Structure 1
Amino acid sequence: MFSGDADADLRQMADDPTFPHRDAARHALRFRTSGDAADLVAVQDDPHPCGTTDVVFALAGSKRPWLNWVPMPSEAISNVANEIGGRRAQGEQLEVTELGLSAAEPASAVAAFRRVAGPVSIGIAEFPPPDIRTPVRPGRYAVWRYDGTEPVAAVPAPSDVAGRLLHEVAGEPWQSPLSGYVKAAPLGELALDDLLGLLAHLPAAPDTPRWQHLARSTPTYWYRLMQPWVCLGILHHAKDEPWPTSTRREVLVDLAFGVEDWVADAALFALVTAAYREPELRAEVRQLVRARLDAAVAAHRLVTIEESLAKLMLVTPGCRADDRAVATAALARAAQDEEQEEREEPAPAPVEKRRWWRRRG
């Protein structure tokens, strides 16, 4: 039986002379203290892997971003959507017809906003360089394109069967990426068009107590969580194809380096999961995660997924000292910016303080 305190449970395992995976438990404890991904890799690479080592891996990543949960949306448009959705869930009759953004934000965040708020007209003041609409690298697969300033799904809508299956698979966060991969296997039976369609057309949240509760505070979180689940499903697509030339690899790499979007770090998360499972992929995946993080850091403008990319870098197998330095610097900047915003922001006021959007009603 577990106590619900991951650190206490791991200490008990590490101190128990009869526990067959004491080394794995010690590595898990060190990871929780130092955050060194090498210790997490050591848990996965236990010389006698079994269901118990999977549990140790899950305990190591308990309540850690990407290992147990997806980082929350941080975009201005997501904050507005959460406020609108939360107030409506509390019974307020709130109508929103127009919204203005000072700069473009990810297409998935815009789509999630409209799933919560409805068909709102969105004005964008500028697309600062590098243009969020331009892929980091050209690729064959994409789920978003732009019609001027408007993000548009570049793939057909998924089937109803795909939406129902997503609800069955993705209704809860994963205990670990490894268990998430196993649970996502049924998604891999879907057609690739269905999987890509789920990423852009964003089915509504399951009608369950968890999501009914989150509808009152963070209704956009479902859309942030479901995309990594879909990318785990893509890892199961055409698994008989050799990895270097496989469709699943090409799709995930193209999405990771496509337009700046939630889909990018969701695809990288799936690749990181594959790297834990298959050691021969680790060098390539580390390079991919670092390259995408470098692109975000080099942007010299706000990149809303930079913080989540940095957190993913820190748990990527093979993460080196220089990778860690870049990631921790990005997280430190994000924390500093947040503290500065909190110091400069005036005392909380009604809706009128949100000058980047307008409403009627």
Structure 2
Amino acid sequence: MFSGDADADLRQMADDPTFPHRDAARYAMRFRSSGDVADLVAVHDDPHPCGMTDVVFAMAGSKRTWLNWVPMPSEAISNIANEIGGRRARGEQLEVSGLGLSGAEPASAMTACRRIAGPVEIGIAEFAPPDIRTPVRPGRYAVWRYDGTEPLPARPAPSEAAVGLLREVAGEPWQSPLSGYVKAAPLGELPLDDLLGLLAHLPAPPDTPRWQHLARSTPTYWYRLMQPWVCLGILHHAKDEPWPTSTRREVLVDLAFGVEDWVTDAALFALVTAAYREPDLRPEVRQLVRARLDAVVAANRPVTIEESLAQLMIVTPGCRPDDRVLATAVLARAAQDDDEDEEPSPSPSPVAKRRWWRRGS
């Protein structure tokens, strides 16, 4: 029925007078053209929802960050881990005893590196303010703690059953956040300690052809992908609890505003997914995503998750024009060449460029 070309398939649906969701297909086409999330929300809010509207929603988000795939790790330590892991997967005997970073990077990235490279010593030149080890807001739930410069899991290791279930559920990207939410339902049956333990202990990937292939190029990607899957599972935890006072809401908000980490945007992604499903949540979730993006933009140092947060802001239901302007400025800055002698723009963006935005390993 479908060609695999989302744009062509949506155009055919929109032009078919017998297709009952022509308006949804038109909204999907507009979203893919303009990126205005209001059009994507309109697809979801079709007055006659059914399985086909979910298909149209997935087509609208095809090959779009967060809607169809999780951003690739961008940290220096991740690049190093990919190099080490890839060379070993290709048969090279490579030993690494120590690494050095000019600045602190997320605990998940550091842990993923050690999962791939082994127990290497990682030296960090400085913890520039705001300190990556300090939560943005105090909260009850956390998955990381620090012993000096070393990130350590704040939760016990997950059970073997939890690890096996994660590998079964999270072996592939989602077609859309909506389908991902449905597929993650079994994870919601796990104890909360298991879910939090999965986020910090980062179990190894499934032994499947997909991950055997990625082991040769980007072995860190499994660790980046699995955490949003776990957070979608948290959305299913104790679903009978009213949202405003629910454990699932408290956990996800605490993680989103905890220490700066991959878990930050993973938790926010789950909240954005909840906002698509439940319109009453949209104003609060938009405020949460914007507040977290504001916090990283205000940091006068590199923030490796800033770009992914900006991409998430753009697909958050209720994203306002000022939200989009800020997020677009962040993405534009990330795409610029880091040339200290670059001529100033005649129309400066609302986000000042950081001269040390990119750094090597």
TM interval, shorter chain, is: over 0.9
Where in structure 2 are the equivalents of 1:272-283 lying within 5 Å?
A: 272-283=272-283
2:35 match: 35
Letter in 2 for 1:274: A
Letter in 1 for 2:208: T
Write the distance in 2 (CA, Å) between the matches of 1:228 and 1:80. 23
Letter in 2 for 1:215: A
Aligned residues: 344
Is this contact kept in 1: 2:76–2:360, CA < 8 A? Answer: no
Where in structure 2 are the equivalents of 1:10-21 lying within 5 Å?
A: 10-21=10-21
Letter in 1 for 2:228: P
Is this contact kept in 1: 2:10–2:25, CA < 8 A? Answer: yes
Q: CA RMSD in A?
A: 1.2
Give, in angstroms, the shift of residue 152 of structure 1: 0.5
Write the distance in 1 (CA, Å) between the matches of 2:222 and 2:65. 15
Letter in 1 for 2:133: R
Give, in angstroms, the shift of residue 340 of structure 1: 4.5
Where in structure 2 are the equivalents of 1:63-102 lying within 5 Å?
A: 63-102=63-102
Is this contact kept in 1: 2:11–2:29, CA < 8 A? Answer: yes
- Tell me the secondary structure at the aligned position of residue 152 of structure 1: strand
Where in structure 2 are the equivalents of 1:318-329 lying within 5 Å?
A: 318-329=318-329
2:53 match: 53
Write the distance in 1 (CA, Å) between the matches of 2:112 and 2:50. 39
Where in structure 2 are the equivalents of 1:1-361 lying within 5 Å?
A: 1-337=1-337, 340=339, 356=361
Give, in angstroms, the shift of residue 115 of structure 1: 0.4
Letter in 1 for 2:24: A
- Tell me the secondary structure at the aligned position of residue 203 of structure 1: coil
Write the distance in 2 (CA, Å) between the matches of 1:301 and 1:13. 47
Report the identity percentage.
Answer: 87
Alpha-carbon deviations, 1:140-194, whole Å to 9, x = none?
A: 0000010000001000000000000001100000000000000000000000000
2:355 match: none
Letter in 1 for 2:116: V
TM-score, L = length of structure 2: 0.94
Write the distance in 2 (CA, Å) between the matches of 1:309 and 1:191. 28
2:356 match: none
Structure 1's 248 and 111: CA in aligned 2 closer, same or farther, altered over 3 A? same
TM-score, L = length of structure 1: 0.94
Q: Which runs of 5+ in 2 are unaligned?
A: 343-358
Write the distance in 2 (CA, Å) between the matches of 1:182 and 1:309. 23
Give, in angstroms, the shift of residue 300 of structure 1: 1.5
Alpha-carbon deviations, 1:259-312, whole Å to 9, x = none?
A: 000000000000000000000000000000000000010001100000000000
Flag the structure with more relative contact order, 1 or 2, with Cα contacts below 8 A and sequence separation at least 6. Answer: 1
Letter in 2 for 1:318: G
Q: Which runs of 5+ in 1 are unaligned?
A: 344-353, 357-361
Write the distance in 2 (CA, Å) between the matches of 1:252 and 1:138. 13
Write the distance in 1 (CA, Å) between the matches of 2:51 and 2:125. 52
- Tell me the secondary structure at the aligned position of residue 123 of structure 1: strand
Write the distance in 2 (CA, Å) between the matches of 1:331 and 1:34. 16
